[in-house]
Amino acid sequence: MISNRKKRSWLICTGVMLLLAVMALSGCSTTHKTADSSSKGEDTSAQQATADKKLVMAYTWKPSGVDPHGDNSWDIMRSGAGETLVRLNEKLEPVAWLAKEWKQDSPTVWTFSLQDKVTFHDGKSMDAESVKASLLRSIKKSHLAKDLLDVKSIDVTGPLALKITTNQPNAALVSNLADPSTIVLDVASMKDEQSYPAMTGAFKIKAFNKDQSLVVERYDGYWGEKARLAEATMKFITDGNSRLLALQSGEVDVATDIPVDNAEVLKKNDKLQVLSSPSLRTHMIVYNMESPVFKDAANRKVVDNLIPRASIVSAIMRGYGTEASSPFPSILPFGKVERKALDGTPEQLLAKDGWKKDAQGTWTKQGKPFEVTLLTFPQRPELSVMAEVIQSQLLKEGIQVKIRKVENIDEALTKNDWDFAMYSMLTAHTGEPQYFMDMFYSSKSESNVSRYASKPLEDILDRLKLAKDTAQRNAVTLQALNIINTDLPQSFIVHPDNVFGVKKGVEGFTPHPIEYYYITAQSDIAE
Amino acid sequence: MIRFILERVAQLVIIVLVVSTLTFVLMRLAPGDPATILLTAHNVPASEEALTALRKELGLSEPLHIQYVNWLRDVSTGHWGTSYVSKESVLTELWNRLPATVELASAGFAVMTLLTLGMGLAASVQSSGWLDRLGRLFALLGSSIPSFWLGFLLIYLFSVRLGWLPSMGREDWTHLVLPALTLGAGLGAVQARVLRAQMLELGDRNFVKAAKARGFSRTHILFFEIFKHAILPIITLLGTNLSFMLAGNVIVETIFSWPGLGKYFIDAITQRDYPVIQGYVIFAAFLIVGVQCLVDVVQVAVDPRLRLR
């Protein structure tokens, strides 16, 4: 005997449960529709799909869009869809890509002749006018492109010839044209919101699923060697452990940015392999040049000398890195620099500078102990471990270090309550030293985190802009590095490697120091 | 009912105003300059000119109170701003990610509800049997295993070792199984213990004894006398947890690369995408108040006495 009211209550409860179940199921089917519709009608038949080779990559970053002239340029370049006028070879030298050749007419004028028979993904031919429009758009949309190119004017001098005039002498222009922010596209394709950007790469964009994946497919009209893969998918998996598990479960063929601890796990799996390449990144210590302790160069030199670089490389980096002696790794011709030897032992240097050891073995000067604050941050966990190792090493020598972990290191460095800090930077992201040195060492730059000012160094950097050839540029850069290693506004600790987990059978995936070229025409999967 | 709705709307306006103002002030006080973060996304240094220009473009060179007034004016006219990162409307961005979050929350909620009802009822019927002991074990594990750990365990077992289910992404229903289990299992196991305790406590009440005396069957007494009363606090718990799932399942979304609101919110915090953070707070307030309204309606439907209060 159940009353009507009771029946109604139960009906409502049952209804709510059913509604939730339907929501869950309908949500799933919606996903299907979204994924299908996002391919924009460019279906490939099921038969073709099984016959063709497809590569899936677990990718660390999550682009917010597919416009290559903005914050997502690196992601588009890595997908194999975008190309620049110049690319960098494995020695990080600029070589021809969409530009066939170039020459410098004067310190501020360069002429480029372009490859012929290049077409955009929408079928239009690439010519000097379209390249000019693309470069102007990249300068307008990207602050980095604007800074790197420093363009005064671009003139079309022939169907496939361009003249670029810079505001100031910019000897790094050619290398800087390899930066992904200058990817060449058909500007008209950006006006159609229903289509993806038409670029010139071996792959064209097939689908972009925000927060999920970027799918590219072979472009059959490609001007160079055709892509061996029919399709490649970059799945955005920001969590390092999730990337590793996706690789182990076989859902992806390649996983980028494998933490070095996990590399050991992958090595034990006979279906997977670990690939690595030297990177252009440098893990370093930056000194606050306004710190009461570290404004004294002798104290910076002592700390620099006590950093256990060899054990950091072997124990913390597990061998995936090399000891650093300058901001630039030694794979670069201007990175081969010797660290300056200390003039005496740390004890002698400190004693000469007026420090005395107290009964507890701590160095003191005018009654104040040698006590310094070291900042570190969680986004690169290995830096915090390095900080602890350095703290322990300095303590052994009588130097007290307080470690403070901050959420945002760049913001923390703008304040004054720190003495030194762990830091990490890409130092030659176009294979060129100039942009980094201008930003990092100029007394006017906000990116000069050490607040270091050196007139001799800034004079050398001005000379670098006028250097005529590679040999001269390298020689001038080495002069600059000599000053940096003497003044020590930073201590360079290690150049970490780029580490990838790759399924056996994946071919043509060659880790490259420059980090732009992941999926290429040569990428393949063995039958 | 009209009064009920008006009360909820007033509540919503106050919550949104207080929470968003607090968020606005706290975000601006927190370290992290959006212009620096945006321009140094790949750890490539940025020039002073570029930083200054971007700060101006983002409206960050204005004094804080002017920024706040501008923001409040825009929100009150339905303009939730534009994401610093994607350059798209915040409302559109949130709206696009809502289906993924609702899908995951619904599936997690279904897992949680099934576990709560199934294990809770079974444990109360067999209050000292093996099902009860199993339920206690699950509750202990559910309350002590963090969701990120449970997620990785499930991925390791079902994706890496057995290869039965995908470990990440949102494609078909199979992608939903592991995140839904991670989200709902722990909470369901804990709630089952609450239901069990309620059922056992109510079993000694006079109205149950009266029903027994009138000769009702055991099943009838269990479902239509005891369970009907025991479910009321559970509905409140389910509602609270549904709000949590809709507004805060960040960890599960991160582990399983689930493209929902929670993950988007965390990314926005990392990138100091102020308009998105502000927008999310308002969005979450709507979701939470909306779910609480739904809970109230269901409670009134289940127990009509509540209408009189």
- The tens digit of pLDDT for each residue in A74-118 reads 999 999 999 999 999 988 899 999 999 999 999 899 999 999 999
Asked if A467 and A318 sit in the same domain, the reply is yes
Higher pLDDT, B221 or A522: A522
CB within 8 Å: B171 and A32: yes
CB within 8 Å: A35 and B171: yes
Which of A446, A461, A514 should be substituted to probe chain B, the one whose Cβ sees the most B Cβ atoms within 10 Å?
A: A446
Q: List the single residue in A236, A248, A411 with the smallest CB-CB distance to B32.
A: A411
Specify the pLDDT at position B307: 64
Contacts of A147 in chain B (CB under 8 A): 46-47, 49-50
d(CA A68, CA A197) in angstroms, rounded, equals: 8
Confirm or reject contact between A140 and chain B (CB < 8 A): no
Specify the pLDDT at position A19: 45
Neighbour tally for A392: CB within 10 Å? 11
* Domain CATH number, residue A205: 3.40.190.10
Q: Which of A216, A236, A256 corresponds to the end of one domain?
A: A236
Specify the pLDDT at position A36: 37
Specify the pLDDT at position B1: 66
Asked if A295 and A436 sit in the same domain, the reply is yes
B158-201 confidence digits (pLDDT tens): 999 999 999 999 989 999 999 999 999 989 988 998 999 888 88
Residue A250 burial class via C-beta count within 10 angstroms: exposed 0-12, middle 13-18, buried 19 and up: middle
Residue among B115, B122, B133 nearest B189 (CA): B115
Asked if A102 and A216 sit in the same domain, the reply is yes
Asked if A220 and A288 sit in the same domain, the reply is no
* Domain CATH number, residue A489: 3.10.105.10
Specify the pLDDT at position A47: 43
Confidence of residue B308 (pLDDT cuts 50, 70, 90): low
Task: Judge whether A507 lies within some domain.
Answer: no
A435-488 confidence digits (pLDDT tens): 999 999 999 888 899 999 999 999 999 999 888 788 899 999 999 999 999 999
CB within 8 Å: A143 and B47: yes
Specify the pLDDT at position A34: 33
d(CA A208, CA A39) in angstroms, rounded, equals: 8
Task: Judge whether A473 lies within some domain.
Answer: yes
Contacts of B171 in chain A (CB under 8 A): 31-32, 35
Asked if A298 and A357 sit in the same domain, the reply is yes
SS3 content of chain B, % helix, strand, coil (to 5): 80, 0, 20
Specify the pLDDT at position A223: 96
Task: Judge whether A264 lies within some domain.
Answer: no
Which of B51, B84, B97, B257 should be substituted to probe chain A, the one whose Cβ sees the most A Cβ atoms within 10 Å?
A: B257
Asked if A328 and A221 sit in the same domain, the reply is no
Specify the pLDDT at position B142: 84
Cβ–Cβ under 8 Å, residues A83 and A505: no
Average of per-residue pLDDT values in chain B: 86
Specify the pLDDT at position A282: 95
Specify the pLDDT at position A41: 41
Asked if A204 and A67 sit in the same domain, the reply is yes
Cβ–Cβ under 8 Å, residues B51 and B35: yes
Distance from CA of B39 to the nearest CA of A (A): 8
For B101, the closest chain A residue by CA position comes to: A27
Cβ–Cβ under 8 Å, residues A207 and A215: yes
Task: Give backbone dihedrals phi and psi of A223, rounded to 5 degrees, phi first.
Answer: -75, -20
For B111, the closest chain A residue by CA position comes to: A21
Specify the pLDDT at position A193: 81
d(CA A340, CA A305) in angstroms, rounded, equals: 9
**How many separate domains does chain A show?**
2
Specify the pLDDT at position B309: 56
Cβ–Cβ under 8 Å, residues A476 and A223: no
Which of B43, B90, B228, B299 should be substituted to probe chain A, the one whose Cβ sees the most A Cβ atoms within 10 Å?
A: B43
Which residue numbers in chain A have pLDDT < 70? 1-51
d(CA B17, CA B283) in angstroms, rounded, equals: 12
Contacts of A212 in chain B (CB under 8 A): 169-170, 257, 259
Asked if A303 and A172 sit in the same domain, the reply is no
CB within 8 Å: B167 and A242: yes
Task: Judge whether A244 lies within some domain.
Answer: no
Fold of B97-272: MetI-like fold (1.10.3720)
Asked if A174 and A76 sit in the same domain, the reply is yes
Q: List the single residue in A9, A20, A411 with the smallest CB-CB distance to B110.
A: A20
Distance from CA of B45 to the nearest CA of A (A): 6
Distance from CA of B242 to the nearest CA of A (A): 11
Q: Domain limits of chain B?
A: 97-272
Tell me the residue type at A416: N
Task: Judge whether A290 lies within some domain.
Answer: yes
Q: List the single residue in B33, B38, B173 with the smallest CB-CB distance to A411.
A: B33
Distance from CA of A389 to the nearest CA of B (A): 24
Task: Judge whether A228 lies within some domain.
Answer: yes
Asked if A198 and A343 sit in the same domain, the reply is no
Distance from CA of B107 to the nearest CA of A (A): 5
B23-72 confidence digits (pLDDT tens): 888 888 777 788 888 888 777 888 888 888 888 888 888 888 888 888 88
The beta strand positions in A394-509, using DSSP E, are 400-405, 420-426, 490-503, 506-507
Confirm or reject contact between A147 and chain B (CB < 8 A): yes
CB within 8 Å: B31 and A408: yes
Read out DSSP for B162-211? S--S-SS--SSTHHHHHHHHHHHHHHHHHHHHHHHHHHHHHTTSHHHHHH
What ipTM was assigned to the predicted interfaces of this complex?
Answer: 0.83
CB within 8 Å: B160 and A248: yes
Task: Judge whether A145 lies within some domain.
Answer: yes
Domain range holding A475?
281-498
Asked if A221 and A314 sit in the same domain, the reply is no
Contacts of A7 in chain B (CB under 8 A): none
Distance from CA of B167 to the nearest CA of A (A): 6
Q: List the single residue in B31, B40, B259 with the smallest CB-CB distance to A210.
A: B259
For B165, the closest chain A residue by CA position comes to: A249
Chain A, window 29-58: residues with a beta carbon less than 8 angstroms from a chain B beta carbon: 30-32, 35
The CA R_g of chain B, rounded to the nearest whole Å, is 24
